[in-house]
Chains A and B, each alone.
Chain A
Amino acid sequence: MIPYFDTGFLATPILNATGSPIAWRLARLFEAPYPVNRLHVLQIEGMLFKAAASNELPEQQAALTGVRLWNRHFEEGVFEPREEAWEVALRLATNTNRQTEANPVSPLFHLHMAVALLANVTHFLSFRAQARALAAALGLKLLPERL
């Protein structure tokens, strides 16, 4: 069983969100370390840095805690950086994006899906309906099974 965490799902172990308890239960189905690619890193760190620059105190607190946990999980080897064949993934994502011209979604969903396919993953963990629909169409098992 090889998991692929959607970035929103990957954020739930570092940010106290409503999906965190479910994400924790599902993550335990898979052995650590959990693979994390550069697209994950770019999205998560971008989100945390923007939140840290927010004028709202709760959001600053969320960002600071998130950054601390994010770094700690890498230091402890719980999250493992993974290199991907980006050129191939981008080409694949461009093709699948063109195939969904009638129902466009964020190109980032296509890029994640391409990376997941190239990594031969078996399970796609996500709380995002659009990403889940793409993953299901490509034959990946979805977790949670229902939203």
Chain B
Amino acid sequence: MRQFKQDLAKLTDSLKPGEAVRVTRRGKVAGVYTKPTARKVRRPNFLANLKKATYPPEAAERWIATLYDPVL
């Protein structure tokens, strides 16, 4: 269970969609983890959505620049 919690991302990457593993705690099965089946998602046209924007790009740029504020 401890290893499962620590290595969840790695484990998920190593499994095929739909594949499952048993998670044990002190030698007993505590649950089953199944990687979700792959699904196709229709990608929206990001640019078309943004063309409706009523603000100048500079307004967005100012805020994007704050993402890596020197404080952090």
Chain A positions within 8 Å of B, measured between CB atoms, are 7-8, 11-13, 15-18, 20-21, 23-24, 27-28, 31-33, 43-44, 47-48, 50-51, 56, 58-59, 61-63, 65-66, 69, 73, 76-78, 82-85, 87-88, 106-109, 118-120, 128
Which residue of chain A is the closest to B36 with respect to CB atoms? A80
Interface pair B46/A61, CB less than 8 Å apart = no
A66-B60, A85-B8 are known; give 20 further A-B pairs, CB within 8 A. A8-B67, A11-B60, A11-B63, A13-B50, A15-B60, A17-B57, A33-B39, A47-B63, A47-B67, A56-B59, A58-B59, A59-B55, A59-B59, A59-B62, A62-B60, A62-B63, A65-B55, A69-B49, A77-B39, A106-B70
Contact of B66 (CB < 8 Å), options: A21, A50, A119: A50
The residues of B that contact A44 with a CB separation of less than 8 Å are: 67
Mark B36-68 against chain A: 1 for CB-CB distance below 8 A, else 0: 000111111111011111111101111110111
The residues of A that contact B39 with a CB separation of less than 8 Å are: 33, 77
| 20 interchain pairs, CB-CB under 8 A | A8-B68, A11-B64, A15-B63, A15-B64, A16-B57, A20-B50, A21-B47, A31-B40, A32-B43, A33-B39, A47-B63, A47-B67, A48-B63, A50-B66, A61-B59, A62-B60, A77-B41, A109-B68, A119-B13, A120-B13
Interface pair B55/A62, CB less than 8 Å apart = yes
The residues of A that contact B55 with a CB separation of less than 8 Å are: 16, 58-59, 61-62, 65
Interface pair B50/A7, CB less than 8 Å apart = no
Interface of A is mostly: helix
Interface pair B66/A13, CB less than 8 Å apart = no
Interface pair A78/B64, CB less than 8 Å apart = no
Which residue of chain B is the closest to A130 with respect to CB atoms? B68
Report, nearest first, the 6 A-B pairs whose CB atoms are least far apart: A15-B60, A16-B53, A13-B46, A58-B59, A58-B55, A32-B41
Contact of B41 (CB < 8 Å), options: A33, A69, A108: A33
